[in-house]
A and B are shown apart, each in its own frame.
Chain A
Amino acid sequence: MLELDQVAVSYGKAPVLADLSVRFAPGRLTALVGPNGSGKSTLLKAVMGFLPVQSGTITLDGRPIRTLARRALARRVAYLPQENRCPDYMTLGELVELAGYARYSLMGGPSDRDRALFRDALETVGLADMAHRPVNALSGGQKQRAWIAMVLAQDAEIVLMDEPVNHLDVKYQYAVMDLVRSLTRDHGRTVIAVLHDMNLTSAYADDVVMLRGGRVVAAGPVAQTVDADSVSRTFDLEADIFVRDGRLVCLPRLAGTGTRLPEVRARTA
């Protein structure tokens, strides 16, 4: 179990996380949502030890995470940054093989078990026949799946993802989120993902942590947590929340401008 207790982080004088406490239940997909600058990415980076934590503790199964060496942490927690850039001429197979670094000895390479793991990872993301292709020759959606394959191949129980569907078109957003959810459903991973879209969150996440100004506004299972009140307090936005096809839909209200199509509304109502 990954747990943050009274964690404070600041860039210079400006606090980014202010006494933030939250716990992430194992085996679930938790979405981190909130406006820009609310501390979502900072929370992930604090867990990874990329930022100094001024006060409070981050623990993994009760052990302070900063006492874990990089290798030991990598065996338990994988991280997908927001922006990923692959050097030219690196193939998908090579990229995935690098993910096993924390398990290799100094001069050694991947074991048979590792190689099976890499094949599984590529199969899971649907790129099994592309291992020899350069990553930079893949399409945008394939590239994102390649990075997810790398995270999978790291074989860590907890996966942190910073905006995994950033820059993807709508179809790929849903395809990638299907994949992200399968990490929890079929592979038993705990996934914590920064998301921007409340509808993607409602469709895929088990739990949600709503952040604003470095504090938790609301946290818990999606169905009990996302409502007009919590959305308004998180995003400063009036929105209608309703159920459609068995999932929550978050529809922001138009503040006067924008296009309204009365006849379409009449047809679908």
Chain B
Amino acid sequence: MSLRVPVLAVAALGLGLSLIANLSAGPGGIGPGAVWEALIRFEPESYDHAVVAFQRLPRAVIAIYMGAVMAVSGTVLQALMRNPLASPATLGINSGAALAVLAGAYLLDLGIETQGVAALAGGTAGFLAVLWVARLAGLSRDPRGLSLILAGALVSMFLTGMANAFLLADPVRRTDFLGWVTGNINHVYAERLYDFWWIGAASFGLLMALARPLTLIALGREKAASAGVNVPRVRGLALAAVVLGASSAVAVCGPVAFIGLVVPHMVRPFAGAGLARALPAAALTGAALCLWADLVARTAFAPHVVHTGLILDVVGGLVFAVIVRRVYLAPAGAAR
């Protein structure tokens, strides 16, 4: 217990350092000192300050938003579904939102703002489709919840295939979206973050208010109901918050997979199972991780900039395999 108290302080410090490191990295030799100057005493005349404030800072803020929202969404989904593989990416939210953006742009010629709204609708539809398929596949008779994850994979493949079809159909506009659809942090989309940041903030606020009943639901629906939780209402509110929050992040950065799945597992041993502490810890950790992924994407192959989503996909794929091994191939009960 005593070990856990400083967890949030350590995570916050880690995020601060990650932000400085992220803003300092890159060509031009802008050191942490100059970054600090640019943030505290911004000089409009300074080229270095302009790079920090108008290029790197928007990227960093997008990374923080995406990382925090995805990590929180994954933590809540894993608790609500009582499934260690649940996340916005594995339950169809990401692919649904991505397809809706492409379909909106290609079929309806939606502008950049309305594409964001399409992402919210698409994420919701993708998630509901996964729940529906999982129910058909017999989720209620499957204590380990594998059918939910398989339904998520199935629906995601279908939705991603449709999204690819749109990309292939129009070579002219393909390049606009090719980067986005692999999950990318790009300051071009800072406008959309400006429109949507409040969705993530409201989602986080609501989930924090529901932290205790959500923790109870992680013990089982009947146990939670017997302790006084209105399970359908809490579950409905929390799922709406998660789906809209994660979809808003997809609207800004495209479907990024790794964070929502893995950060909850990284945070849990230190922050515990209680969501009142696990949610802020996940938000801080997810944000820091995205800052580092962005840093690697910008510097590893300099002068070329790799898509942040690709870095996260490679690492995420490996970690996914480790989690599957630990959770599903462990002797029954050992990993719980």
A residues adjacent to B (C-beta < 8 A)? 45, 48-50, 69-71, 73-75, 77-79, 81, 84-91, 93-95, 98-99, 101-102, 104, 106-107, 132, 136, 154
Contacts and interface: CB of A to CB of B under 8 A. Distances in A.
Given A79-B222, A88-B268, A102-B228, 13 more contacts: A48-B226, A70-B231, A71-B228, A73-B228, A84-B219, A88-B273, A91-B1, A91-B272, A93-B1, A94-B273, A101-B212, A106-B209, A154-B227
B29 interface: no
A79 B269 CA distance: 29
B1 A98 contact: no
Interface in B243-290: 268-269, 272-274
A54 B223 CA distance: 23
A35 to B, nearest CB: 23
Given A48-B225, A101-B213, A94 B219 contact: no
B304 interface: no
A78 B268 contact: no
B107 to A, nearest CB: 43
A85 B230 contact: no
Interface in B298-336: 335-336
B93 interface: no
Contacts of B273: 86-90, 94
Interface in B178-213: 209, 212-213
B220 interface: yes
5 contacts: A48-B225, A70-B231, A74-B226, A88-B268, A102-B227
A78 B336 CA distance: 25
A69 B233 CA distance: 13
Contact of B228 (A49, A70, A95): A70
B218 interface: yes
Interface of A is mostly: mixed
A86 B224 CA distance: 12
B216 A101 contact: yes
Interface in B22-60: none
B11 interface: no
Given A88-B268, A90-B274, A101 B223 contact: no
B215 interface: yes
Nearest to A133: B1
A49 B228 CA distance: 12
Given A74-B228, A98-B215, A50 B1 contact: no
A101 B219 contact: no
B219 A85 contact: yes
B272 A90 contact: yes
B225 A99 contact: no
A89 B220 contact: no
A101 B220 contact: no
A79 B218 CA distance: 16
Contacts of B227: 74, 78, 98-99, 101-102, 154
A48 B222 contact: yes
A16 B300 CA distance: 65
Contacts of B228: 70-71, 73-75, 101-102
B79 interface: yes
Interface string B76-97: 0001001000000000000000
B229 interface: yes
B241 to A, nearest CB: 16
A70 B230 contact: yes
Q: Which of B213, B222, B225, B228 has the most CB of A within 10 A?
A: B228
A98 B212 contact: yes
Nearest to A107: B209
Contacts of B229: 70, 101
Nearest to A156: B226
Contact of B274 (A84, A94, A104): A94
A219 B135 CA distance: 40
Given A73-B228, A94-B272, A88 B336 contact: yes
A151 to B, nearest CB: 9
Looking at B209, B218, B227, B336, which has the most chain A CB atoms within 10 Å of its CB? Answer: B227
A71 B233 CA distance: 13
A94 B276 CA distance: 11
Contacts of B218: 87
Given A89-B268, A89-B273, A136-B336, A70 B1 contact: no
Nearest to B275: A87
A137 to B, nearest CB: 11
Contacts of A45: 222
Contacts of B79: 87
B269 A89 contact: yes
A84 B272 contact: no
Contacts of A154: 227
